[in-house]
């Protein structure tokens, strides 16, 4: 066995350091359990009914918090499927071609049957040199994980994991339950915190825990509320954090609302169709993470318009036929729904004239 080099040692050290925020949150959570359940509820509360109610509600929130946090940490980010990886022959051809139009022509031929609509800022096919694959829509390469992540939102140090298609719902629930956890602690601890300042509590160990428990819960409530509110806004607009900072670029140009299908369908894309699973950290998101329905506002006037529900084989003005780029059934039904999937449903005439189903609209290769 070859000895480990300096690079290998550094990578191992970095992997250990990446777990420090998770260990910190875990220790803080363990201390909060002891401070609330033992020192506040059992030691300080004198009313038995109040003890029972607080302990039941607390353990319910605690369990949901830990469950969603665990799922966010240990759910592996999904990577592009094999269809997006270049074949051996394509890789060899790409290595021989210089950067430029010839290089792009190889990528265009490899991507002609893939369900991709986004481009780079210069209009080129999005390609990852490190992973040697054509990037699906909303996929980005994470420098920390050193791999391409489907529908990447961001790399979160507090969970030591990439937040993307496979665990974005878990991350939202983690934020929601941690916020409720902190708000519940702050609300039920407030009266005892006031007693501390008015010398209404005996000078015991519980006094210290009650004081710092309220401060910690109040402080985290403020930061979590802003973060959770921001991600709720992202879900309502069907954006990721990366897309909020840099709008996706389509063949027709930049469109910040290109993936938005309206509030209801944006929610369903993340949480799924069955509402009974919405509040549980179980995977219920729609689709496969590789292809997404789009709502292109800036239509290319040279593109053919095909309403939802039409035949999936289209003809370009040159009468060439192309197969429609596929969407999974769980994604396609968002577009086939009888209810309008545009956010402006009050004016059906406008939606009919100005919108087409881009899942069924092909792009003319140049």
Tokens of 188: 């039920």
Which of 97, 94, 85 has the alpha carbon at shortest distance from 134?
85
Which of 66, 59, 54 has the alpha carbon at shortest distance from 189?
54
Catalytic residue, candidates 156, 162, 182, 295:
156
CA distance 80 to 75: 16
Tokens of 168: 């974005």
Specify whether 156 is catalytic.
Answer: yes
Q: Output helix, strand, coil percentages for the chain, rounded to the nearest 5.
A: 50, 10, 40
* Neighbouring residues of 139: CB distance < 8 A, sequence distance ≥ 6: 80, 126, 148, 149, 150, 151, 152, 290
Give buried/exposed letters for 167-195 (b at 16+ CB in 10 A, else e).
bbbbbbbbbbbbbbbbbbbbebbeebbee
* Neighbouring residues of 351: CB distance < 8 A, sequence distance ≥ 6: 340, 342, 344, 345
Which of 155, 146, 147, 145 has the alpha carbon at shortest distance from 84?
147
Which of 174, 184, 177 has the alpha carbon at shortest distance from 213?
184
Which of 253, 255, 232, 256 has the alpha carbon at shortest distance from 244?
256
In sequence order, which ranges of the chain are alpha helices (DSSP H)?
A: 6-18, 20-33, 48-74, 88-96, 101-111, 168-197, 205-237, 241-245, 263-271, 329-336, 348-354
Alpha-carbon distance values, 275 to 2, 31, 57, 265 (Å) = 53, 34, 22, 13
Cα dihedral across residues 15, 17, 18, 23: positive or negative? positive
Q: How many CB atoms lie within 10 A of CB 5?
A: 9
Residues with a catalytic annotation lie at 156
């Amino acid at each position: 066995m070859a000895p480990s080099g300096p690079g290998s040692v550094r990578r191992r050290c970095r992997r250990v350091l990446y777990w420090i925020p998770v260990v910190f949150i875990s220790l803080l959570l363990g201390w909060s359990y002891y401070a609330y359940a033992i020192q506040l509820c059992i030691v300080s509360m004198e009313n038995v009914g109040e003890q029972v109610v607080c302990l039941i509600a607390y353990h319910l929130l605690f369990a949901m918090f830990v469950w969603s946090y665990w799922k966010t940490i240990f759910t592996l980010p999904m990577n592009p499927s094999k269809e997006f990886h270049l074949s051996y022959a394509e890789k060899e051809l790409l290595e021989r071609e210089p950067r430029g139009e010839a290089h792009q022509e190889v990528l265009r031929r490899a991507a002609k049957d893939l369900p991709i609509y986004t481009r780079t800022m210069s209009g080129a096919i999005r390609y990852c040199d490190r992973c040697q694959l054509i990037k699906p829509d909303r996929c980005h390469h994470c420098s920390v994980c050193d791999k391409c992540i489907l529908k990447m939102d961001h790399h979160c140090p507090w969970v030591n994991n990439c937040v993307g298609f496979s665990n974005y719902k878990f991350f939202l629930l983690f934020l929601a339950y941690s916020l409720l956890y902190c708000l519940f602690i702050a609300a039920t601890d407030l009266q005892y915190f006031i007693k501390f300042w008015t010398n209404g509590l005996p000078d015991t160990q519980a006094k210290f825990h009650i004081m710092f428990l309220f401060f910690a819960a109040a402080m985290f409530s403020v930061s979590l509320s802003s973060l959770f509110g921001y991600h709720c806004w992202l879900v309502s607009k069907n954006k990721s954090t990366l897309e909020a900072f840099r709008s996706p670029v389509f063949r027709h140009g930049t469109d910040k609302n290109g993936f938005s299908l309206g509030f209801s369908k944006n929610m369903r894309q993340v949480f799924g169709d069955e509402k009974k699973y919405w509040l549980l950290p179980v995977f219920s998101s729609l689709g496969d993470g590789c292809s997404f329905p789009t709502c292109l506002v800036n239509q290319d006037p040279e593109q053919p318009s095909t309403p939802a529900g039409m035949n999936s084989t289209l003809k370009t003005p040159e009468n060439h036929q192309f197969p429609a780029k596929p969407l999974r059934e769980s994604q396609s039904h968002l577009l086939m729904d009888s209810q309008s999937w545009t956010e402006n449903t009050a004016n059906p005439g406008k939606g009919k004239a100005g919108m087409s189903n881009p899942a069924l609209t092909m792009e003319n290769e140049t």
